[in-house]
Amino acid sequence: MTINGWIEILVFTGIVVLLARPLGGYMTAVFAGEQMPLSALLGPAERGLYRLAGIHERDEQPWTAYALSLLAFNFVGFLALYLLLRLQGWLPLNPAGMTNVPPALAFNTAVSFVTNTNWQNYGGEATVSYLTQMLGLTVQNFLSAATGIAVAMALIRAFARKSARTVGNFWVDLTRGTLYLLLPIAVVMTFVLVWLGVPQTLAPYADATTLEGAHQTIALGPVASQVAIKMLGTNGGGFFNANAAHPFENPDAVSNLIQMVAIFAIGAALTNVFGRMVGNERQGWAILAAMGVLFVAGVAVCYAAEAAGNPLVHALGVGGGNMEGKETRFGVALSALFAVVTTAASCGAVNAMHDSFMALGGMIPMINMMLGEVIVGGVGAGFYGILLFVIVAIFVAGLMVGRTPEYLGKKIEAKEVKMAMLAVLCLPLAMLGFTAVAVVLPAAVASTANAGPHGFSEILYAYTSAAANNGSAFGGLSGNTGWYNVTLGLAMLMGRFLVIVPALAIAGSVAAKKTVPESAGTFPTDGALFVGLIVGVIVIVGGLAFFPSLALGPIVEHLAVVAGRTF
């Protein structure tokens, strides 16, 4: 590890923290429907969309109607994207002549982008047309991100309101999140990326002749616009197969920093939105602090493992960190940081191949996802994910002091705890359940690039990434098979909607409760003790559920490498 490496990490962290409050204030105003400078430009479009859809912006929904609207909208989005993928060969804006996507791959891809996962069992520049990239994938990047933000806002309102029967209006939250938040920032970011050298064109792929006289086709396309929203919306699906390691998606250290900040910005700011709406910003800072503790710990372990390098390589007289699978323009520090950022959020973009990380370095991204990606997390998803753990932590605190658990004046009772545990436990069910089946199926094991614990890690990482709605891949698994296309798609659906529906049920229950005044026995939830309690609950729950599988994969691989054995 180097001082320069830690300075880079601290600069990134400082920028995210500095952005949290102003962006949180802006988001609070957006979802409150307040007038702002963009209202004059976007207000007519917002009202026009409401009229077309027959929506009255002041009409709110109970949690059941909110959930049904969300599920119906996402189902229609899945069907539209699936049909676009299946028919793209006959549609315009297809200069490279891409053929129709096969059924199983189309199912996997449609589910992936609708659930904000963006797992890709294909190479973007060799599989999908410009029309599919723009009308299908990029549109879903906006809508899936806005869906996650909407769920977070419903849960925030629930804790801010008293004796309410409604949690907001899904259609209004979706529209405002897209129009006033995601779209303006993505447009500005697109122009910045173009200025930095990222292509944005509808021209055909370029043909070139190399110095050796060979023919080369250089893939181009509307790249910058997709990169902007894939990062801002924590989607992660790359225009190119190499994702953010490709120089056309991520040209230099400046673009790398901008993209990492975009991944964390909205997720971090939602904690401030929460504090503002419940009337105590310290509550939001406490949650962000818990996220920060886990994030810093993950970065430290990952960076240390990659900087130490491979002892088997050192034995050959070669020093330095582990640069295998990394871009020289980013190096060890920024590669390790990017890996932790993209898996702490449900982004999935990668600027290095995680399959080439050292065993412990590759374990940290896996742990981030196994914990439900509550360390900032996906836009919206990370916040409502950590609130589920907050409810569990409050329940544990209530047991310790012998009082009825309460949070922000709302009593946390059996229904809320049961719904929180249902949402938390669905992730290990999908991650470990599908992995257990895959490792005993010869056809599934045949897709791995390595034997032994590393091959096990490739399969475990794939289902962990899918169920966590992350979308990053270890890099050694050939997932474009019938088995993986279908089962990874099912894991994505479980990880998305079996968390969202219980979270909305909690929102409906909490919103209906009266607020209980604080007393001398009220457990403070805005200080260091509460931060430690949240971190402890997250680590313990994750450790109990996933430690055995980690022991079979990265931990035993690390011990084997130390002993001089490879696979």
Give 243's DSSP letter: G
The pLDDT assigned to 488 comes to: 96
Determine if the pTM surpasses 0.75.
yes
The pLDDT assigned to 512 comes to: 93
Within-domain flag for 127: yes
Mind listing the pLDDT tens digit for each residue in 383-406?
999 999 999 999 888 877 767 788
Within-domain flag for 129: yes
The pLDDT assigned to 508 comes to: 95
Q: Which position has the higher pLDDT, 517 or 7?
A: 7
The two most distant CA atoms of the chain are separated, in Å, by 81
Asked if the model's pLDDT at residue 208 lies above 80, the reply is: yes
CA angle 326, 297, 156 (to 5 degrees): 105
H or E segment to which residue 408 belongs: none
Q: Which residues contact 369 (CB under 8 A, 6 or more apart)?
A: 343, 346, 464, 465, 468, 470
Task: Give me 307's structure tokens.
Answer: 């900087």
The pLDDT assigned to 165 comes to: 93
Asked if the model's pLDDT at residue 96 lies above 80, the reply is: yes
Q: Which residues contact 323 (CB under 8 A, 6 or more apart)?
A: 331, 332
The pLDDT assigned to 305 comes to: 93
**Residue 61 pLDDT level (bands cut at 50, 70, 90):** very high
Single-letter residue type at 381: A
Determine the Cα–Cα distance for residues 564 and 567; give it in Å rounded to an integer: 10
Determine the Cα–Cα distance for residues 23 and 26; give it in Å rounded to an integer: 5
Within-domain flag for 236: yes
Within-domain flag for 114: yes
The pLDDT assigned to 209 comes to: 87
The pLDDT assigned to 150 comes to: 96
The pLDDT assigned to 397 comes to: 83
Least confidently predicted of 153-157, 264-268, 450-454? 450-454
Asked if the model's pLDDT at residue 315 lies above 80, the reply is: no
Q: Give how many domains the chain has, as a whole number.
A: 1
Answer for the pair 425, 498: CB distance below 8 angstroms, yes or no.
Answer: no
The helix-helix angle for 381-401 and 528-550 (nearest 10°) equals: 110
Single-letter residue type at 370: M
The pLDDT assigned to 312 comes to: 81
Determine the Cα–Cα distance for residues 166 and 59; give it in Å rounded to an integer: 9
Among candidate residues 245, 244, 239, 259, the one with its CA nearest the CA of residue 122: 239
**Residue 373 pLDDT level (bands cut at 50, 70, 90):** confident
CA angle 218, 223, 228 (to 5 degrees): 155
Mean pLDDT on 449-463: 91
Within-domain flag for 158: yes
Q: Which residues contact 171 (CB under 8 A, 6 or more apart)?
A: 50, 53, 55, 69
Domain range spanning residue 43?
A: 28-207+216-279
Answer for the pair 210, 323: CB distance below 8 angstroms, yes or no.
Answer: no
CA angle 504, 510, 512 (to 5 degrees): 110
Least confidently predicted of 8-12, 263-267, 558-562? 558-562
Within-domain flag for 445: no
Q: Which residues contact 51 (CB under 8 A, 6 or more apart)?
A: none
Give 221's DSSP letter: S
The pLDDT assigned to 564 comes to: 82
Within-domain flag for 556: no
**Residue 309 pLDDT level (bands cut at 50, 70, 90):** confident
Question: What percent of the chain is modeled with pLDDT above 70?
Answer: 99
Give me the helices (H) in 347-451, please: 359-370, 381-401, 414-438, 442-445
The pLDDT assigned to 85 comes to: 96
Percent of the chain that is helix, strand, coil (3-state, to 5)? 65, 5, 30
Average pLDDT, the chain: 92
Within-domain flag for 76: yes
H or E segment to which residue 213 belongs: none
Mean pLDDT on 108-127: 92
Q: Which position has the higher pLDDT, 250 or 401?
A: 250
Asked if the model's pLDDT at residue 480 lies above 80, the reply is: yes
Mind listing the pLDDT tens digit for each residue in 500-548?
999 999 999 999 999 888 777 778 888 999 999 999 999 988 778 899 9
Asked if the model's pLDDT at residue 346 lies above 90, the reply is: no
Asked if the model's pLDDT at residue 192 lies above 90, the reply is: yes
